[in-house]
């Protein structure tokens, strides 16, 4: 369940906030989706003050002429960041807000479990890498010492034993 993306059509709008292009949502659409009883303009202004959201960082204002108004009124739209959308959704004290909080709590648990699993694997692989490093280091020492000291001694002893076991035959060329 993704309660945030429960609008009629694609709710996302590309906006420039804090020097970055990111996704934003029309706060009026969020207000409707959250089933807020308060008037939109009062609700959004109150939430901005309560949460200390910053213009051009968390949201931008777009002032436009209301096409449905006979008097040609100007209305202010608030295009808010996805993070602000999540924040506002989780703050709402109604069924929709509860759904959103529950959703993000579940997502955080999934992320935490995945992170713990990855950290466990990292720990296991780190130990395995250390063991292999130690084993290969020991093998390198054995090969180095064995190649320079032990092998020549073994070959010398082998030659001595071979000489002892060989029959000595006198080959005298002067004998007929």
Higher pLDDT, 172 or 14: 14
The continuous run of DSSP H or E covering 103 comes out as helix 95-145
Q: What is the per-residue pLDDT across 128-154, written as a single tens digit (0 to 9) for each?
A: 999 999 999 998 888 887 778 888 888
φ and ψ at residue 78, rounded to 5 degrees = -115, 115
- DSSP 3-state of 70: coil
In angstroms, rounded to a whole number, what is the distance separating the alpha carbons of residues 18 and 16?
A: 7
Higher pLDDT, 71 or 28: 28
In angstroms, rounded to a whole number, what is the distance separating the alpha carbons of residues 79 and 84?
A: 10
pLDDT score of 4 more than 50: no
Using CB atoms within 10 A of its CB, is residue 17 exposed (0-12), middle (13-18) or buried (19+)?
A: buried
In angstroms, rounded to a whole number, what is the distance separating the alpha carbons of residues 89 and 96?
A: 8
For 38-166, list the strands marked E by DSSP. 59-65, 74-81
Token pair recorded at residue 67 = 């096409």
Q: What is the per-residue pLDDT across 17-44, written as a single tens digit (0 to 9) for each?
A: 888 899 899 999 999 999 999 999 999 9
52-61, 66-75, 83-92, 128-137, range with the lowest pLDDT: 66-75
Which residue in 58, 133, 57 sits closest to 88, CA to CA? 58
């Amino acid at each position: 369940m993704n309660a945030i993306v429960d609008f009629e059509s694609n709710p996302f709008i590309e906006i420039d906030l804090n020097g970055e292009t990111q996704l934003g949502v029309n706060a009026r659409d969020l207000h409707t989706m959250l089933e807020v009883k308060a008037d939109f303009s009062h609700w959004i202004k109150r939430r901005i003050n309560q949460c200390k959201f910053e213009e051009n960082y968390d949201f931008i204002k777009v002032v436009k002429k209301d096409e449905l108004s006979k008097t040609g009124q100007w209305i202010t739209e608030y295009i808010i960041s996805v993070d602000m959308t999540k924040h506002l959704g989780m703050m709402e004290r109604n069924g929709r807000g509860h759904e959103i909080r529950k959703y993000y709590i579940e997502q955080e648990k999934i992320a935490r479990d995945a992170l713990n699993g990855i950290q466990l694997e990292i720990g296991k692989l780190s130990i395995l890498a250390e063991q292999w490093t130690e084993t290969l280091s020991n093998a390198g020492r054995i090969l180095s010492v064995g190649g320079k000291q032990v092998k020549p001694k073994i070959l010398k002893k082998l030659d001595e034993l071979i000489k002892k076991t060989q029959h000595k035959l006198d080959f005298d060329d002067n004998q007929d």
